[in-house]
Structure formats: structure tokens, C-alpha cells
Structure 1
Amino acid sequence: MQRLILLLCPLILLGLALNGCAEFQDRPLQPEVSQTRLEARSLTSHELQSFMQSVSGSAVLWPFKRWNIDQLTLAAIYYHPDMALIRAMADTADAAIITAGQRPNPTLNVSPTWISNAVAASQPWIIGSSLSIPIETAGKRDYRIQKAQALSDAAHLRSVDSIWLVRGRIRLAMLEVFAARQSEQLFKQQLDIQLAMTQRLQQQLAAGELSRLDVMRARMASNALQLNVSAAEKRYNESRVLLANAMGVPVSALAAIELDFAALDTPADLTGVPVPVLRDIALKQRADLLAALADYNAAQAALQIEIANQYPNIQANPGYTWDIGAHYWTFAASALQLPVFHQNQGSIAEAEAKRQEMAVRFEALQLRILGDIDRAQAGLSAVNAKWQDAEKQTRLQQDNLQSTQALFQAGETDSLALLGAELEGIVSETARLNVLIETQQALNVLEDTLRYPLASTLTAKSIVDTALWKKPE
């Protein structure tokens, strides 16, 4: 009976250990289900409303009457697949911390032996068992946890940085929609004026006041403007698709909302924005820079692991044997590697070179950020000066139009001259729009490089806090 208990005890312990094991849950991916879910995404859903309320910390008036860049940014953070992917990668890095902290399990060996030719008076059994207990030395487990924690920090920091990338794409896409819509309206105004001028020239041709060549030139100008209108309409439709893709929703989701372009109508006033201070902060605290620093810390922990691997682990092997009534207890240690041929110099050299590589990458990124910020700031200053010139030219054209209207009312000029002045005014507005788009693009570049919301209702903290949010399953 005693022998049976000694034999069953290890098996019972093994069964209890297996009872706590995780079970596999099958989660198949079904393309048709995923397609239906993606096509059903909406900017008026209550799930999106709950997310925006959780981010803002207060109730929001739902649904929004008009969607601005900040609200579209939050919707993109909620829907865009890049955000879901980066969060999943961060979860994977978090799970690696658990793996790094696990201690190696002991191994149990049981070897019952039956003796066929044993003496009749003796018990024909030899029951042997041994327990292998691995013991890590030199703090390897602690270094392993440090490495996994650093990689987890890097993954979470990159999720913060991905938010800025998503916001940048939203702002550029929104700017493209605005530019396409405004261009379409201006081209239509030019076309209307040009058609009126062509009609007036045809009347003069009928009266014999000018040649047919002048009318042909006017018709060709009208045809060219009609092509510009068609191109602008195509650009507008494509820009809405671009905006929908930047948000991670089908383009049909934009049909139920109205876009707010108030932040794009005029260049942002940055006089109160401390750009030099933000520049200094970006060079020290930008999320991608901190992620590179976390990568360096992970490489340093990996070097510590390889240095610790110079020292062998210990394998404790206590055992018990019941041999025909006799009890034998053994205590042994094995797997003691002797550093005869090498002391892990190769792996240490690789880890040290990797750490140096991460240091170079960090400094290169910091230098690139410095150059990007300086270039973006210089570009914004240049286009702001260009904007002042465009505004001055627009005012001159407006003054010229008013003067021509006064002359027309006084009977000192004809309707054709008035239409020409109106056409020049629309052309000036088109040039002004192009400079405005350049200004907004430069502002977008500066915001991207500083990782700070310029001319925005959002704060840097509110954007970063969204990286901590997890979508319910």
C-alpha cells in the first residue's frame, strides 16, 4: 500500500497541475462577417459617442451637426485599423512580460521496475523517482523582465505616436476636401463669367463690331474652364474617399454628416503658441523619440542577459528510490557548463553592438526631428509672408472691381469690361486659395513635427490619453 501511494502521489500532483492549464478557444475569421461590420461603420453610432464621451470626460451633443478636424481625429482613433494594430502589438508586448517573468518548471521522472526473477520472499519492484529543479543564476530572470518591460514601453509609446500620424492624415485629407470644394466653386464662377463674356462677344460679332477670331478665343477659354470644373468635381469626389480611408470608415459614412472647414478658411494665428518651447519639448519627449530610448534600454538589458549567461545555471536533481524494501535518497546537481572554450564572448559582442546601434538610431532620430522642426518653422514663415502678398493682391483686385463697377454705372465703360474685372477678381481668389492651402500644409507639417495640436480644441494630453483606451470586445 505504501508503495502504491508513493507511485500515485506524483501522478496526482501532475493531474492537479494540468487542471489549471488554459484551454484553446477557436475564433475563426469570416470574411463576410468582417465585410458587413466594416461597411456598417457610421459616424452616428452610439459606440462612437461613448468613446468620445470617455475621452472628453463629459457628455457630448450627439450627433454633431458639423464635424471639424478634432472630432474627425477622435473618430479615426476609434475606427482606423492602424490604431487597432498598434494596440494589438502593445498587448503582445505586455504578454511577453509575463513570459519573461516565468520561472522554469521542475521536471518529475518516475521509473517503476518489475523484477521477474526476484526471490520469492522479496518484493519484485524497484520504484525510482527524481525531480529536476532548474535554478537560474546571475539575475537572468530580472534582466529578462527588464528587457520585456522596455519593449512593452516602446510599443505603447509607438501607439501614442501613431495617433499623431493618424491625425496628420486626417488633417491633410480634410484640407484636400476643402481645397477641392473651393476650387470647384471658383472654377464654376469663372465659367459663368466666361460664358457671359462669350455671349456678349457673340452679340458684338452679330453687330459687326469684332472678328470671329475673338469669339473663338472666348469659346476655347470657356471649354478649358469647363474641363477645369469637371476635374475639380472629380478631385472633390476622390478627396472624400481619401478622407474616409484616413478615418477607417466607408465613404458612405460621410454622406450623413456635414464637414466644418472653419479652421481652414484662414491661416491659424500662432502668435500665442510658444513654438521654441514646444521645439525643446519635442526634442526630449516626442513619443517616437521615447520609444527609441526604450529600444535602447531593451538592448542594454539584452546585453546584461548575455553577460549573465557567462555563469551557468544549476540543475538540482533530488531523487528517491524504493529498492526491494530499501529506501535510497539522492541529492545531485547537473548541467554545470564549464567555460573551457568560450565565455559567451560572441553573444556578448553582438548584444553590445546592438546597444551601440540603438544609441546611433536614437541620436539620428533626434537630429532628424531637429531638422524637421526647423524646416517646418522656416517653411511656415515663408508661406505666411506669401499669404500677406496674396491678401494684398486680392484687395487690389477688389478695389479694381469696385472702380470698374462705378465706371459701368456712370456709363463710362461697357459690360464686357465689367465682366473682365469680375473674372480677374475670381482668378485672384483662386491664387489666394492656393497660397492658403500651402499655409495650411505648412501648419500641418509643423504640428506633425512638434507632436502638438496647433490651432486645435484638443490638448496634447487628451490625444495621448486616447492611446490608453481599449475598444471593448
Structure 2
Amino acid sequence: MNSSKWWILFLVFLWVPLQVHAQSQTLSLEDVVERFKQHSLQQELAELEKLRKQGAAQQYKSYMNPEVSIFSEQLNAGTLDYDETTYQISQPIELLGQPFLRNKSANKSSEAAELSYEYDRSALIQQVKSLYAEYWFLQHKLQVYDQALEVISQVLTSAKDRQEEGTESGLQVQRFTVEKNRYLRERNEVELEMMQVGNQLASMIISSEESGFEFQVEADLPVEPIMEDSETLKQYALEHRSDLQAIELEAEALGLKYKVEERERLPDLKVNFGYKNQSDGSEGFVIGGGIQLPIFNRNSGSITMAEAEHRSVETSLQLQRRTIHDQVDVAYRRVQNLYAQWQEMQQNPLSAEMLETARSAYQEGRYSLVELLDATKAYVDGRSLQYRITADYQQALFTLDTITSGKIFSTQNTSEQ
């Protein structure tokens, strides 16, 4: 019995640290992207949509599916019985090369689906990175409010002690109480927002088997200037954007489909080949053929629809090129503006020592109540703004990287090597 108790205690002590380690992790940006690639259900949905499109493309292909028929006749002519059996294979033949065009169109549509999936996946990764940066901001903003609350709480305690001694007015105690509750309310709002963002991020990076998964983000998000100019980024995006390449392939596929529908004006030739065996001993091969007469339907409706689809995608392609040009312009300017603002903020950095200095000055009588509260608010607002600009810069950079098909971080990584 004693031996079993020791074993139980040993297992408990072994299990608890493992659980703590498994449920609380500090994740880097690379970690969350890797976890997304391994576990994301959103990525799985995008992949299933790709498979659906590829299945539809596969369905459009032409296949040699001959029809096999067996005919058996039993005739009674007076006293004689007469039997006849025919084995026949029938195959429609499209004389103008439609099967080749269908197969080529289907292959391009399938490749377009693959490229669309690549861009959708990159957009999801951008969303994961942006959530990471937002969570980073809220985590640091929460720390700022905790620091402000600690100062206000210390001063409130001191004010209450002075009130009991008769050296502090009740009005000041009341003012500190109001400020404490205001900061507490704002702090709790930040905490709830952080929980919501954390849940969104977790839903994209954890598997369905993981439960109670908790994480933190790294302390720093490095801010570095981009190495390329706007025109270079535009040209690279137009040459490498997978969604643009997908539209180009889809336009080619629909162009081939339009040719197929035009050639379908002429009917297919149906070739029959068979073998006949009669009861009188006669036997031999049977060869025949047939063709529909296109008296009323010359496939004009399908031709019109195919032409409209082809032209629609070609127009979408031109619009998408313009959209990419504008997207890069706006995103590049946003990154530049935020970087300039971040540099400006670095000229007068704020630290937690500023808050502690203000508290000490108030307790020593060098700061008035209003000056202490102003200093606390200035610290909270200024420090929060510093974190906000850093997070905004990262999110703008993630967006620019996505719309330039990964050009930003590929350049950054190359320059660091």
C-alpha cells in the first residue's frame, strides 16, 4: 500500500509540470505561422474548396466511354424458329478536336484552383500574423494599465492613511477612488478585448484535440524599414501574385471552352461496330454510323454563355491588375507613414520610471493631485500609443507582404544573411 502511494505521488509530481508547460507557451510569430500550417481548420476549408474546383475541372474533361449493347431476337416463322444475336459497341466521335480542347481547358482550370488556394492561404497567414500583432499590443496595453493601477492604488492607500491622521482631505481620497475605478474599468475592457483576439488566434492555430491551450506572445516586435521602393513592389506583385495568375489561367480555360462550344455547332459522328450471329449459321461483323441533323439547335445558347464568361473573366483580369497597382500604392504609403511616426515616438521614449517618479513627487509634496493624475494619464496614453503604432506598423507590413506575394519578407530575410 505504501509503495503504491509513493508511485501515485511520483506520477502527480511528474504530470503537473508537464501540464503547465503544455498549456502555457510563449509563441513567436514563426511559431504561430507553423502551428497554422499544421492545425488550421480555416486552411483545411480553403483546401477543400480547391479540391471542389479541381473536381469540377476534372468533370469537364472528355473520356472515351463506349456503349456496349447486346440484341437478341427470337422469331417464329411457321414451323421454323429463327434466332439472331448482335453484340455492338458504339462510340461518339467529335470530329473537330473538342476532347483535346476540353482536356486542356480542364488542366488550366485545375492549375488555377491551385493558385487561388495559394493566395487564399497567404491571406489567412496574414490574418494570423495580424491577430498576433493585435494580441501583442493588447498584452502590453494591459501591462500599462496594471502599472497605472498600481500607482493609483499606492497613492490611494497613502491618502487614506493621511485622512485618518487628519492631513488629507476626503475629497482627494474620493478623487483617487474615482480614478482607480476608471482605470480598472478600462483595464478590464482591454483584458476582455485581449481574450477575444486570443480566442480568434487560438482558433486558427490549435488542433481540435488540444484543450486548455494557453499562450503568450514574445516581448518584442522588431520595427525595421522596408528595403524596396513602391514601383519595384508593384512590378513584382503583377508578376508573382498567385491570384492574378489564377485569373489568367481561368481566362485561358474559358477561352478554350468557348472554342469547344463553337465547334459543337456541328453534330458528333456516332460509329457502331459489332458482331452478329444467326441461328442458320450465318455470322459476321456489323459496321454502321449515324449523325444528328442540327435542324433547330445549333448550340447558340451555350456559345453565347461561354463567350460572356470568357469576356467577363478577361475584364476581371484587367480590373485586378489595376486593383493590385492601387493596393500596393496605399499599403506602401501606410507603411512609410507609420514608420515615420514610430521614429518620431522614439525621440521621447516613455518608461515605467516616469510613473514611479510622479508617484514619489506627489508623496513628497512636489506634485499636486492634478499633476499626478495628468502624469499618469500621459504615461498610459503615450505608452499605449507607442505599442499601438508598433502593432499597426507590423500589421501594415503583413498586408504589404501579402499583396506583393511575399516580396517584403523575402527581401528582409535576404538582407539579414
TM-score bracket relative to the smaller structure: 0.7 to 0.9
Find out whether 1:240 has 2:219 as its counterpart. Answer: no
Closer/same/farther in 2, CA of residues 204 and 96 from structure 1, 3 Å limit:
closer
Closer/same/farther in 2, CA of residues 245 and 217 from structure 1, 3 Å limit:
same
Matches of 2:413 and 2:48, distance apart in 1: 25
Number of the residue aligned with 1:413:
366
Of the three residues 307, 318, 327, the one matched with 1:363 is 318
Match for 1:332: what amino acid? Answer: G
Number of the residue aligned with 1:115:
75
* Bigger mean CA deviation after superposition, 70-79 or 299-308: 70-79
Number of the residue aligned with 1:337:
292
Matches of 2:82 and 2:365, distance apart in 1: 132
Number of the residue aligned with 1:214:
172
Residue pairs, 1:114-133, within 5 angstroms: 114-117=74-77, 119=79, 124-133=82-91
* Bigger mean CA deviation after superposition, 373-382 or 196-205: 196-205
Contact preservation (8 Å) 1:126, 1:322: yes
Matches of 1:337 and 1:283, distance apart in 2: 48
Contact preservation (8 Å) 2:138, 2:190: yes
Of the three residues 237, 252, 255, the one matched with 1:300 is 255
Number of the residue aligned with 1:436:
390
Find out whether 1:285 has 2:245 as its counterpart. Answer: no
Shift in Å, 1:442:
2.1
User: Where does the alignment leave 5 or more consecutive residues of structure 2 unmatched?
Assistant: 1-17, 19-23
Of the three residues 402, 406, 416, the one matched with 1:452 is 406
Number of the residue aligned with 1:180:
138
Question: Aligned to 2:84, what secondary structure does the other structure show?
Answer: strand
Match for 2:63: what amino acid? Answer: R
User: Where does the alignment leave 5 or more consecutive residues of structure 1 unmatched?
Assistant: 1-43, 45-63, 461-473
Closer/same/farther in 2, CA of residues 393 and 259 from structure 1, 3 Å limit:
closer
Question: Aligned to 1:183, what secondary structure does the other structure show?
Answer: helix
Of the three residues 307, 323, 326, the one matched with 1:352 is 307
Higher relative contact order (CA 8 A, sep 6+): 2
Residue pairs, 1:48-447, within 5 angstroms: 66-95=26-55, 99-117=59-77, 119=79, 124-206=82-164, 211-249=169-207, 255=213, 259-262=217-220, 264=221, 266=222, 268-273=223-228, 275-323=230-278, 324-327=280-283, 329-334=285-290, 336-341=291-296, 343-394=298-349, 413=366, 423=376, 424-447=378-401
Contact preservation (8 Å) 2:61, 2:106: no
Closer/same/farther in 2, CA of residues 426 and 92 from structure 1, 3 Å limit:
closer
Closer/same/farther in 2, CA of residues 319 and 445 from structure 1, 3 Å limit:
closer
Closer/same/farther in 2, CA of residues 416 and 251 from structure 1, 3 Å limit:
farther
List per-residue Cα deviations over 1:20-64 (Å, max 9, x = no partner): xxxxxxxxxxxxxxxxxxxxxxxx9xxxxxxxxxxxxxxxxxxx9
Shift in Å, 1:242:
1.4
In percent, how many aligned pairs have the same letter? 18
Matches of 2:170 and 2:64, distance apart in 1: 95
**TM-score after normalising by structure 1:** 0.71
Match for 1:236: what amino acid? Answer: M
Shift in Å, 1:224:
0.7
List per-residue Cα deviations over 1:154-181 (Å, max 9, x = no partner): 1100121122122112112212221221
Closer/same/farther in 2, CA of residues 184 and 398 from structure 1, 3 Å limit:
closer
Whose strand fraction is larger, Structure 1's or Structure 2's? 2
**TM-score after normalising by structure 2:** 0.80
Instruction: Number of aligned residue pairs: give it.
Output: 392
Closer/same/farther in 2, CA of residues 348 and 90 from structure 1, 3 Å limit:
same
Matches of 2:215 and 2:396, distance apart in 1: 27
